[in-house]
Structure 1
């Protein structure tokens, strides 16, 4: 029996609703993989949530003229609603509840008590005018490695850790004209270099699903000494650090992923009605769990390096994530989605205007798997109409001409064809070569083949059988159309029926506008 798979997509920051860039990235991919595993008889849990401790909550709230807490409350409801509207079937949705905070603190206190954290003096940008240290979303500048401009913490371009004190020409995001100086601060860090060889050994063993950009970055990161990773920051927004040597500081939000992921697993298991002996049971070493992350490339460092190091620092208590499937940025009209500039399409708005299956298909067909891809409303209309709606409705028209009411024979040849269809889709859905783009292409190829097929007398059963198999294989993407199936599931090879009962198929409605 296969292991239970825990699928995690990193929590978006609770500073707004989800736009298409979010959905086209990790969320749709994670949902499709979870649905595929279940359709093939395997147990899968899907977890995500929202993060309220990020400094971007504060910067967005300041820009909008609202309090951070009010922004979090509004954004949390929007994120959960949008995921449901897009058909992202989440088993565990984390938030800012007390139990999550307790999990983070319990995890951190265990490592602190074991002497895994060390007190270090670091140089941080400081605003004399406000009396505040500037980290992460509070400060931006050039990355000393790739020179790209961005906020501190993590470089979205090269994926490396971007210490605030190393920024080129640092400037406050609240006021770029505010003079900034570097000052010393004492913070707790996790010395990542202690774990570099063990992290390398882990990725040598696993990581088959890594895409080229992440694989390159992991090789770069592990080919040289790893810098100390900040566990606490001298700022006021976040989970208060319970350590006396850094009184008044908070937990670095980018140091939360390991603890957050453990909490995710607990919520997802409970959401599926799975009894647990302890809050970290799914993550315990020896547990029959396979952990898989679907994440944006920019989350590589905190989840694949820092979080793995923290799990290793727990002295064998926890298992390690085995696979990481990343994506690049999804753009709108050839520019990055931007909430601050109003350059975006809200996911919830689109699925109320366009049938949900069409949105999911288009995001799959244009998924930013290995390079940036682009969304436009005109492309959505053109792609979904020509590649999905028209060929599917032609298949429906052919199916309507098949006599109804009595079983029809299915030939051995058609059963072998069905096995090949399943095999083609499986190659897209299994982790090693996971690709939503190829799954969408495979669906279009099969629909066009069936739409153009000349169904001769005596072959009606074969036609209906193959249509059924294609729809079953497309079900992880086309969740509403698949509701027409009498029962869910993708057939295993060699299990095809010898007869099939013809049935009416629903038509697809094309996009408007």
Structure 2
């Protein structure tokens, strides 16, 4: 039985700031899942990095008149700062341009595939811009998706997630000068993806994924999979370590596979272990990968096939967790149109726990969802600063009144009190089920937390006559102890979603160290009396009335 887990999040491209659409996807999802596993005592690593060799980096640098590597480093710093503000605690955040282990992993990956005949030279047509004298692929070219007709860049469609081979784009144009490209013949190293159809079908049959990802995989494997160039005649990326192709660069999406291996190697190196032992840990771990649905083809088809070709004994992913697009007022985030809320601007004005709760509450799990300021205010002001803060304020007053500043030692609960305790336990179980990879749903987890608070608020109201009439009664002490236990459960269940709030509540309750799942399960009676921390305890406050203008700059 596997006792370890490796969690990967598709690395962000360092060509700009992160907006809320970015923040709501793989990075928050991977962090939530990782924290939930740790809370339950499972050894886990959260691996990610910087996707520096995407074509969008030099394109952005050229537009700004900057050096691509300097731009990539600057934006990688921005991303790292945002991760810190949002409390995304990845074990590694690898920058390939500064990682010897990354370069060596990619070199070994490509040379191994070539030596084994898994990638082969092949001559085929590609797109060329005569005006720019440039080979066009990925971000260098756009046109209509040959599958769905939506606007698409080269190699894959953001809308339907199907791949293209660039030459099949409808009415392609060069994204630099707008010219219509011509076709030219190029020799590249290609990966015959179609040879792995049956093995991929078997993998998908046993791998946890969303219904829409299942449908994408079924559709892709129902047809003939294309040969995928793993080298391109371009000047951005890692040089190809194969004789005759030194002037080409490794396709960044092929580079990402050994990039995940390098992230694990860097994590081992950072703790003083031998990076060469990465295979042993990889194969002994459950592999859970987080990525946007638009990258579904890469992670579910191309990457596993490349892993099979590279090392037949390598463990393949156990679960794929995806998200759809998170939009702003029902339209895609767009920097060019000024239609965006930047993560660093929001986190500078709003506590990370509030931002994380709102993003989890409306996470685009199976369909696109949208951010609106009205909805954000309702969640922050009415739910958190209103219902949650209101119940917790009352709880600490009741601890002071009934327990003299200590959580009382509970006695034997009445039937209604026992029913409340059982209901809290059931909500905790449901919440942690929502953190599991197979049933991952931060949306559902936030509803469980909200229902826990509503249940506890109703319970407190129902016990109010007892507490007013007989505050020294054993039943009154039990009622307050059960409420405190519900708050302790809230802290444990909220920790994956809102770690800063969870720690604050945990310590306010007089509990040591970090929240744990087992502590939330502790049986009553027998919890034991203990003092709470001196108040007041302010966990949430209403948002400023002008929060939207403060964040959006006007």
TM-score, normalised via structure 1 length: 0.94
| 1:393 and 2:372 correspond | no
Of residues 337-346 and 435-444 in structure 1, the stretch that sits farther from structure 2 once superposed is 337-346
Aligned to 1:423: 429
| 1:122 and 2:124 correspond | yes
Aligned to 1:324: 320
Query: Within 5 A, what are the aligned runs for 1:23-172?
Result: 23-95=23-95, 96-97=97-98, 98-172=100-174
Aligned to 1:448: 454
Answer whether contact 2:268 2:278 (CA < 8 A) is retained.
no
Answer whether contact 1:329 1:373 (CA < 8 A) is retained.
yes
| 1:432 and 2:438 correspond | yes
- CA distance in structure 2 between the aligned counterparts of 1:170 and 1:225, rounded to whole angstroms: 23
Aligned to 1:379: 375
Offset of residue 269 of structure 1: 4.1
- CA distance in structure 2 between the aligned counterparts of 1:8 and 1:410, rounded to whole angstroms: 46
- CA distance in structure 2 between the aligned counterparts of 1:127 and 1:450, rounded to whole angstroms: 65
Offset of residue 423 of structure 1: 0.9
Offset of residue 120 of structure 1: 1.4
For structure 2, the 5+ residue unaligned runs are: 468-475, 548-554
| 1:264 and 2:263 correspond | yes
Aligned to 2:235: 236
| 1:218 and 2:217 correspond | yes
Aligned to 1:499: 527
- CA distance in structure 2 between the aligned counterparts of 1:128 and 1:348, rounded to whole angstroms: 40
- CA distance in structure 1 between the aligned counterparts of 2:89 and 2:359, rounded to whole angstroms: 16
- CA distance in structure 2 between the aligned counterparts of 1:154 and 1:356, rounded to whole angstroms: 33
Answer whether contact 1:5 1:289 (CA < 8 A) is retained.
yes
Of residues 428-437 and 239-248 in structure 1, the stretch that sits farther from structure 2 once superposed is 239-248
**1:146-186 deviations in Å (ceiling 9; x for gaps):** 1111110111111111211111111000111x241111111
Offset of residue 2 of structure 1: 4.9
Offset of residue 313 of structure 1: 0.5
Answer whether contact 1:230 1:255 (CA < 8 A) is retained.
no
The match for 1:350 among 338, 343, 346 is: 346
- CA distance in structure 2 between the aligned counterparts of 1:243 and 1:279, rounded to whole angstroms: 26
Match of 1:244, SS state, is coil
Q: Specify whether residues 465 and 502 from structure 1 end up closer, same or farther in structure 2 by C-alpha distance, changes over 3 A only.
A: farther
| 1:473 and 2:502 correspond | no
**1:288-311 deviations in Å (ceiling 9; x for gaps):** 211111110111122221110111
**1:393-443 deviations in Å (ceiling 9; x for gaps):** 111222122232363216562553443132121221112211011111111
Q: Specify whether residues 410 and 423 from structure 1 end up closer, same or farther in structure 2 by C-alpha distance, changes over 3 A only.
A: farther
Larger Rg: 2
Answer whether contact 2:110 2:241 (CA < 8 A) is retained.
no
Aligned to 2:551: none
- CA distance in structure 2 between the aligned counterparts of 1:371 and 1:277, rounded to whole angstroms: 39
For structure 1, the 5+ residue unaligned runs are: none
- CA distance in structure 1 between the aligned counterparts of 2:238 and 2:88, rounded to whole angstroms: 28
| 1:311 and 2:282 correspond | no
Aligned to 1:281: 279
TM-score, normalised via structure 2 length: 0.88
Offset of residue 15 of structure 1: 0.3
Match of 1:256, SS state, is helix
Answer whether contact 1:258 1:303 (CA < 8 A) is retained.
no
- CA distance in structure 2 between the aligned counterparts of 1:154 and 1:53, rounded to whole angstroms: 16
Answer whether contact 2:328 2:339 (CA < 8 A) is retained.
yes
Offset of residue 389 of structure 1: 2.0
Answer whether contact 1:283 1:319 (CA < 8 A) is retained.
no
Offset of residue 71 of structure 1: 1.1
Answer whether contact 2:20 2:341 (CA < 8 A) is retained.
yes
- CA distance in structure 1 between the aligned counterparts of 2:324 and 2:155, rounded to whole angstroms: 18
Offset of residue 277 of structure 1: 6.1
Superposed CA RMSD: 1.9
Aligned to 1:201: 202
- CA distance in structure 2 between the aligned counterparts of 1:150 and 1:314, rounded to whole angstroms: 30
Answer whether contact 1:40 1:492 (CA < 8 A) is retained.
no
Aligned to 1:253: 252
- CA distance in structure 2 between the aligned counterparts of 1:507 and 1:160, rounded to whole angstroms: 45
Answer whether contact 1:192 1:228 (CA < 8 A) is retained.
yes
Match of 1:164, SS state, is coil
Q: Specify whether residues 406 and 229 from structure 1 end up closer, same or farther in structure 2 by C-alpha distance, changes over 3 A only.
A: closer
Offset of residue 275 of structure 1: 3.0
- CA distance in structure 2 between the aligned counterparts of 1:343 and 1:306, rounded to whole angstroms: 33
Of residues 457-466 and 80-89 in structure 1, the stretch that sits farther from structure 2 once superposed is 457-466
Deviating above 4 A after TM superposition, structure 1's stretches of 4 or more consecutive aligned residues are none
Q: Specify whether residues 200 and 91 from structure 1 end up closer, same or farther in structure 2 by C-alpha distance, changes over 3 A only.
A: same
